[in-house]
Chain A
Amino acid sequence: MKVSFDILKKFVTPPREFSGRELADALTMSTVEVDDYTDQAKSLAGAVVGLVIKVSPHPKADKLKLATVDIGKKEIEVVCGGVNLHEGMKVAFATIGTRVRWHGQGDWVTLAKATIRGVESCGMACAAEELELQDDKAVEGGIMDLTYLEVPPGTPLAHALGLNDIILDIDNKSITHRPDLWGHFGLARELSAMWQVPLYEPKAPRIKPEIDVPLMVSVKKPVHVGRYLAVSVGHLKVAPSPKWLQSALLSLGMRPINNIVDVTNYVMLELGQPLHAFDLDKLVSPEIVIRQAKKGEKFTTLDGVERELDESMLMIADKKHAQAIAGVMGGQTSEVSNSTKTIALESATFEAVNIRTTAAKLGLRTEASARFEKALDPNLAELALRRAIELFKEICPGAKVLSPLVDVYNNPRSAQPIELPLSWLFARLGVELPQEEVKNILERLGFKVERTVKTDGGTPYRAAEGGSGTGEDDEKFLVTPPSWRATRDITIPEDLVEEVARIYGYGKIPLALPKFPIEPSERDLAQDLRWKIRDILIGADFIETLSYSFISEKLITDLADEVYEAADINTSSLVELLNPVDKIQKYLRPALLPNVLEQFVKNILLLPHDNLKVFEIGRVFFGAEGDWSSGGKNTSSFLPSQPYHLVLCQRLAVGDVVNSFRLLKGTVEQILTILGINFVFESFGSNMAKVVVDGKHIGGIGIINMQRSSLDLAISFAEINLDLLPQLSTPSIYSGLKPNDFQIRDLSIVVSNNVRWIDIESGLKKISPLIESIELFDVYSTKGSLAFHITFRSPARTLKSEEVEEIVKQAVNLLQNKFGATVRS
Chain B
Amino acid sequence: MQKELEHLRERAKEELKTLTEQADLEKIKIKYLGRKGELAEMMKKFKELAQAERPKIGALLNEVKIDIEKAFHEITKSFKSATVSSANFDVTLPGIKPERGNIHPVLQVQRELEDLFRSMGFKVLDGPEVESEFYNFEALNIPSWHPARESQDTFYVKGGASDNRLLLRTHTSPMQVRALQQYGVPLRAVVPGRVFRYEATDASHEHTFWQMEGLVVDKDISVSHLIATMKELLQGIFYREVEVRLRPGYFPFVEPGFELDIKCFICGGTGCSVCKQRGWVELLPCGLVHPKVLEAGGVDPKEYSGFAFGLGLSRLVMMRYKIDDIRLLLGGDLRFLKQF
Contacts and interface: CB of A to CB of B under 8 A. Distances in A.
Contacts of A545: 104, 332, 334, 337
A512 B145 contact: no
Contacts of B207: 581
Contact of B147 (A176, A460, A511, A603): A176
B199 interface: yes
26 contacts: A177-B250, A353-B144, A357-B145, A430-B222, A462-B220, A462-B303, A465-B219, A502-B256, A507-B246, A513-B225, A513-B229, A518-B121, A521-B118, A521-B122, A534-B107, A538-B100, A543-B334, A544-B107, A545-B332, A546-B104, A547-B330, A577-B168, A579-B151, A630-B160, A631-B164, A639-B166
Nearest to A373: B145
Given A513-B232, A599-B331, A639-B166, A546 B128 contact: no
A171 B224 CA distance: 27
Interface in B90-140: 99-104, 106-107, 111, 117-118, 120-135, 138-139
A549 B145 contact: no
Interface stretch (A60-68, A443-451, A490-498, A551-559): A490-498
Contact of B145 (A30, A356, A430, A628): A356
Contact of A511 (B122, B134, B159, B231): B231
Interface stretch (A468-476, A524-532, A675-683, A713-721): A524-532
Interface stretch (A152-160, A388-396, A605-613): A605-613
Given A33-B249, A356-B145, A521-B124, A506 B227 contact: yes
Contacts of B337: 543-545, 614
Given A492-B291, A547-B330, A599-B333, 17 more contacts: A21-B277, A353-B144, A360-B150, A373-B145, A428-B223, A506-B247, A510-B224, A514-B229, A516-B120, A540-B101, A575-B157, A599-B331, A602-B332, A621-B129, A639-B166, A640-B159, A640-B166
A575 B117 CA distance: 34
B33 interface: no
Contact of B155 (A524, A531, A580, A637): A580
Interface in B51-104: 99-104
A488 to B, nearest CB: 10
B132 A521 contact: no
B158 A577 contact: yes
A136 interface: no
A700 B338 CA distance: 27
Contacts of A581: 198-201, 207
B188 A430 contact: no
B288 A494 contact: yes
A539 interface: yes
B287 to A, nearest CB: 9
Interface in A35-79: 36
A509 B122 contact: no
A15 interface: no
Contact of A521 (B188, B229, B258): B188
Contact of B101 (A502, A506, A509, A543): A543
A626 B128 contact: yes
Contacts, number: 272
B305 A428 contact: yes
Contact of A494 (B126, B160, B255, B338): B255
A464 B335 contact: no
Contacts of A623: 159
Nearest to A502: B248
Interface string B242-270: 00011111100001111100000000000
Nearest to A625: B159
A265 B227 CA distance: 42
Chain A CB within 10 Å, residue with most, of B332, B333, B337? B332
A186 to B, nearest CB: 15
Contacts of A120: none
B212 interface: no
Contacts of A516: 120-121, 186, 188, 218
Contacts of B275: none
A431 interface: yes
Contacts of B139: 631
Nearest to A500: B256
Contacts of B99: 541
B258 A506 contact: yes
Interface string A564-598: 00000000000111111100000010000000100
Nearest to A176: B250
B241 interface: no
A409 interface: no
Given A540-B101, A545-B332, A640-B166, A462 B126 contact: no
B228 interface: yes
B302 interface: yes
B157 A578 contact: yes
Contacts of A29: 245, 247
A736 interface: no
A538 B231 CA distance: 33
Contacts of B224: 429-431, 509-512
A631 B100 contact: no
A632 interface: yes
A576 B157 contact: yes
Interface string A386-405: 00000000000000000000
A122 B250 CA distance: 51
Contact of A28 (B107, B122, B247): B247
A30 B218 CA distance: 27
Nearest to A516: B121
A633 interface: yes
B167 to A, nearest CB: 9
Contacts of A357: 145
B158 A578 contact: yes
B249 A174 contact: yes
Contact of A430 (B150, B164, B223, B248): B223
B157 A541 contact: no
Nearest to A178: B250
Given A501-B256, A524-B125, A514 B218 contact: yes
A31 interface: yes
A598 to B, nearest CB: 8
A36 to B, nearest CB: 8
B326 to A, nearest CB: 12
B102 A544 contact: yes
B245 A549 contact: no
A108 interface: no
Given A512-B228, A527-B126, A497 B332 contact: no
B282 to A, nearest CB: 9
A462 B158 CA distance: 44
A542 interface: yes
B329 interface: yes
Contacts of A326: none
Nearest to B136: A631
Interface in A59-113: none
Contact of B157 (A31, A177, A577): A577
A691 interface: no
A352 interface: yes
B172 to A, nearest CB: 14
Interface in A620-663: 621, 623, 626, 628, 630-634, 637, 639-640, 642
Interface string A803-824: 0000000000000000000000
B302 A461 contact: yes
A618 B194 contact: yes
Nearest to B188: A516
Contacts of B9: none
Contacts of B335: 606-607
A603 B332 contact: yes
A140 interface: no
The 5 closest A-B pairs by CB, nearest first: A430-B224, A599-B332, A430-B222, A498-B256, A632-B134
